[in-house]
């Protein structure tokens, strides 16, 4: 899935621990084999080749991930959409040429996406696609699901102290001996050497979507990799969104969802969901604001103040 996966566990039986970790990695690799659109032999790649028809998904996990993604799409009115594949390809292609796609190309591509252009039959695990060119991309949800699968393997083997990290998508079980929690540092999106908040994790998941690692610049303006499927453009003004919840599949998907929705819509949706907390950092007109849900207000105040230089390039959407 284009990232590194790290598994840490505590056990007095070293050889047995290695076997368990290998089993957990095998579960992660299975998710990659089924759900990565970069693999031509994956279920998702085969689904994309069936665009405009119907396809029976024989893997229960893949169908469940698509079902979960569809539910989030409906809740967010399309801010999260796994049919965003054509838009991602358009922007990636132009990024390689260090140029922006023209508005006509974006508008045309938007016509080829949309979660309302497919429907699921739960009983037969069949997906019906009514739009030619519909392409699925599970990049914003599959990593989280892989983390959850690894955690399931660890729990099945009576591992109680562990951390699984897939490129920043985390799930923590109990902490190491002598610790009260796994303390995860929240990075300042404008200064990567500055940790602005420590978030304690125990038996919960955490994920962050940010504009500070994957981006490109054109005409002295920064454009991040997170695209709003409703407009076809990179999301402006939001710098990062961190989500804590009960499962990694949800934190992975919701971090992208809330990032796209922005403030105040994203914060309102988070507040309406059970066991879901977020930190949203926005920047508008060189003014930085951090928005947090009530559950995070009990944490320490920002350890260091957020700063922004006068030269900081803020992504824009379009005129």
This prediction's pTM: 0.91
All domains in the chain, ordered by first residue: 43-129 (1.10.3980.10), 180-319 (3.10.520.10)
pLDDT over 80 at 174, yes or no: yes
State the average pLDDT over residues 175-198: 88
pLDDT tens for each residue of 246-279? 999 999 999 999 999 999 999 999 999 999 999 9
Most confident of 108-112, 187-191, 309-313: 108-112
Q: Give residue 127's pLDDT.
A: 96
Least confident of 28-32, 51-55, 219-223: 219-223
Q: Give residue 19's pLDDT.
A: 97
133, two tokens: 């060119």
Q: Give residue 2's pLDDT.
A: 81
pLDDT tens for each residue of 276-309? 999 999 877 667 888 889 888 777 655 455 655 4
**Per-chain mean pLDDT for the chain:** 88
pLDDT over 90 at 94, yes or no: no
pLDDT over 50 at 315, yes or no: no
State the average pLDDT over residues 198-209: 95
pLDDT over 50 at 316, yes or no: no
């Amino acid at each position: 899935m284009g990232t590194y996966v790290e598994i840490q566990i505590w056990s007095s039986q070293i050889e047995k621990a290695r076997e368990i970790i290998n089993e957990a990695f095998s579960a992660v690799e299975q998710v990659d084999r089924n759900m990565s659109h970069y693999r031509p032999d994956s279920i998702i790649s085969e689904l994309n080749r069936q665009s405009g028809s119907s396809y029976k998904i024989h893997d229960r996990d893949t169908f469940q991930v698509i079902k979960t993604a569809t539910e989030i799409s409906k809740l967010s009115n399309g801010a999260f959409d796994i049919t965003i594949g054509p838009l991602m390809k358009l922007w990636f292609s132009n990024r390689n040429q260090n140029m922006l796609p023209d508005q006509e190309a974006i508008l045309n591509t938007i016509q080829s996406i949309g979660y309302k252009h497919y429907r699921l039959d739960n009983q037969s695990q069949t997906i019906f696609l009514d739009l030619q060119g519909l392409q699925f991309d599970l990049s914003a949800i599959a990593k989280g699901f892989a983390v959850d699968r690894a955690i399931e393997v660890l729990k099945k083997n009576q591992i109680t102290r562990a951390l699984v990290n897939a490129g920043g998508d985390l799930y923590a079980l109990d902490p190491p001996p002598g610790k009260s929690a796994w303390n995860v540092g929240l990075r300042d999106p404008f200064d990567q050497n500055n940790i602005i908040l420590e978030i304690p994790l125990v038996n919960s998941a955490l994920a962050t979507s940010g504009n500070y690692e994957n981006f490109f610049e054109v005409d002295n303006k920064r454009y991040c990799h997170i695209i709003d499927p409703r407009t076809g453009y990179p999301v402006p003004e939001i710098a990062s969104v961190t989500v804590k919840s009960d499962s990694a599949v949800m934190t992975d998907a919701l971090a992208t969802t809330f990032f796209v929705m922005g403030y105040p819509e994203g914060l309102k949706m988070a507040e309406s969901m059970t066991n879901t907390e977020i930190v949203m950092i926005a920047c508008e007109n060189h003014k930085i604001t951090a928005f947090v849900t009530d559950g995070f207000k009990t944490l320490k105040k920002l350890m260091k103040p957020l700063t922004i230089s006068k030269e900081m390039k803020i992504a824009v959407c379009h005129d």
